[in-house]
Amino acid sequence: MGVEVQIEGLSKSFGRQVIWENVTFTLPAGEISVLLGPSGTGKSVFLKCVVGLLKPNSGFIGVGDVDVVSCSEKDLYEVRRLFGVLFQDGALFGSMNLYDNVAFPLREHTRKSEREVRQIVMEKLDMVGLAGSEKLLPGEISGGMRKRAGIARALVLDPEIILFDEPDSGLDPVRTALLNQLIVDLNAQTDTTMLIVTHDINTARTVPDNIGMLYHRRLAMFGPREMLLTSQEPVVRQFLNAQRHGPIGMAEEKDADELAQEQLAGIKLPPLPPVVLQLMPSDGRPRPSQHPPGEWCRRNGVTPPPGSFEGDVTTAPGPVPRETRTVPALADPPLYGEQQYGGRHHG
Ligand SMILES: Nc1ncnc2c1ncn2[C@@H]1O[C@H](COP(=O)(O)OP(=O)(O)OP(=O)(O)O)[C@@H](O)[C@H]1O
Ligand SMILES: [Mg+2]
């Protein structure tokens, strides 16, 4: 079983720039979680804090019985071995070919023979579709290939926790679909705790068990996938449905004038689209950490949008309904006023 990661009261600033404050949630062991948020809200900074590469100003990051924020260098070195990390830019060594890049963590952290190293490296390169490219340098391959090499490197130590920073950016739609399947299959086989930062709404809607969202220097919400997909909270709803209308603008926050104008113009948001089924492992059997479709909604008395949990997510979902404009302005549907989820949420 993977390892739980507990985040409590975490805050991070650079000088006087507050990135986020008082972030509290738990990545449940063995589950897949997605972290969303507009560009610049500090998702990459958050991942770097979790692996101890950046120091938060305050708070607690519990991994096993270690607090990453306050532990010794020695404990940090040990705890880092539990993690596989794909950084946003791939972070490959430019002067090493792909083989040596992927072999690097094995040579650094294990005493495996070169024969064993070769077997693991070739297996992981094959897994991400890079068999045959092992002699190439990072500068000689496409952005998507670098991304996939970074994924192979994140997997070589068979980590307990994997952090992926936009694994799908720069990948074509077919490879994104294949990567999502790879992530789900990997989770089914290994029970690794996973956190994926992505801007891909289809990935966010279909892959994870939990979704979190950073917005406006705080964690807007974190909880089971069904909770966020049925949420009427304006920021969550706008983001997960890729809508123009709502609190998020081109600059991170729209100004109050613009919001007031939208309200005057009588923008009425379309109904929420159906909650699609979660992507299943290739063998068709649910992952150990997977919850039955509709379970969260039933337990919490939430009626999901009509058509939810029907159909097959291996085919792309239909287009999200367009915003509609009605005059005069009608009151928005009532908000459910969900609480931010902190700590464990299933039960
Ligand atoms: N080492 C650093 N020193 C100072 N400021 C930093 C540092 N790293 C990041 N920042 C700032 O922190 C903020 C959040 O950056 P971050 O890269 O985490 O955003 P993000 O949510 O990952 O965005 P994107 O979706 O575009 O990748 C930005 O304003 C960035 O300039
Ligand atoms: Mg980022």
> Quick one: which of 240, 183, 223, 186 has its CA closest to 207?
183
Which range, of 29-33, 85-89, 153-157, 273-277, averages the lowest pLDDT?
A: 85-89
Decide: helix, strand or coil at residue 107. Answer: helix
pTM of the model: 0.84
Determine whether the shortest distance from the Cβ of 14 to ligand 1 is under 6 A.
yes
Determine whether the shortest distance from the Cβ of 42 to ligand 1 is under 6 A.
yes
Check residue 22 and give left, alpha or beta (phi > 0: left; psi -120 to 50: alpha): left
> pLDDT for 288-309, tens place per residue?
999 999 999 999 999 999 999 9
Distance of alpha carbon 248 from alpha carbon 229, whole angstroms: 17
Using pLDDT thresholds of 50, 70 and 90, give the confidence band for residue 343: very low
Residue entry with tokens 């270690």: 66
Given a contact cutoff of 8 angstroms between Cβ atoms, the answer to whether 153 and 98 are in contact is no
Backbone angles phi, psi at 344, to 5 degrees: -75, 150
Average pLDDT, integer, range 72-93:
88
Could you list which residues have their CB under 5 Å from ion ligand 2? 44, 88
Q: What DSSP state is assigned to residue 307?
A: T
Distance of alpha carbon 277 from alpha carbon 290, whole angstroms: 11
Counting ligands in written order, which one lies closest to the CA of residue 36? Answer: 1
Determine whether the shortest distance from the Cβ of 55 to ligand 1 is under 6 A.
no
Number of Cβ atoms within 10 Å of the Cβ of 62: 16
User: At residue 317, does pLDDT exceed 70?
Assistant: no
DSSP secondary structure, 118-158, as one string: HHHHHHHHHHTT-TT-TT--GGGS-HHHHHHHHHHHHHTT-
Of 23, 35, 43, best ligand 1 pocket probe by most atoms within 8 Å of the beta carbon: 43
Residue entry with tokens 């464990």: 344
User: At residue 339, does pLDDT exceed 60?
Assistant: no
Considering only residues 2 and 316, tell me which one the structure prediction assigns the higher pLDDT: 2
Determine whether the shortest distance from the Cβ of 44 to ligand 1 is under 6 A.
yes
Decide: helix, strand or coil at residue 55. Answer: coil
User: At residue 329, does pLDDT exceed 50?
Assistant: no
Determine whether the shortest distance from the Cβ of 12 to ligand 1 is under 6 A.
no
User: At residue 321, does pLDDT exceed 60?
Assistant: no
> pLDDT for 215-261, tens place per residue?
989 999 999 999 999 998 888 888 888 777 777 777 656 666 666 66
Q: Which residue has its alpha carbon closest to ligand 1 atom 14?
A: 42
Determine whether the shortest distance from the Cβ of 45 to ligand 1 is under 6 A.
yes
Q: Which residue has its alpha carbon closest to ligand 1 atom 4?
A: 14
Determine whether the shortest distance from the Cβ of 43 to ligand 1 is under 6 A.
yes
Task: Give, in words, the CATH class of 1-82+159-347.
Answer: alpha beta
Using pLDDT thresholds of 50, 70 and 90, give the confidence band for residue 277: very high
For residue 25, list its beta bridge partners.
7
Q: Which residue has its alpha carbon closest to ligand 1 atom 3?
A: 14
Domain positions in the chain: 1-82+159-347
Instruction: Provide the token pair at 63.
Output: 């991994």
Question: What's the pLDDT at 316?
Answer: 43
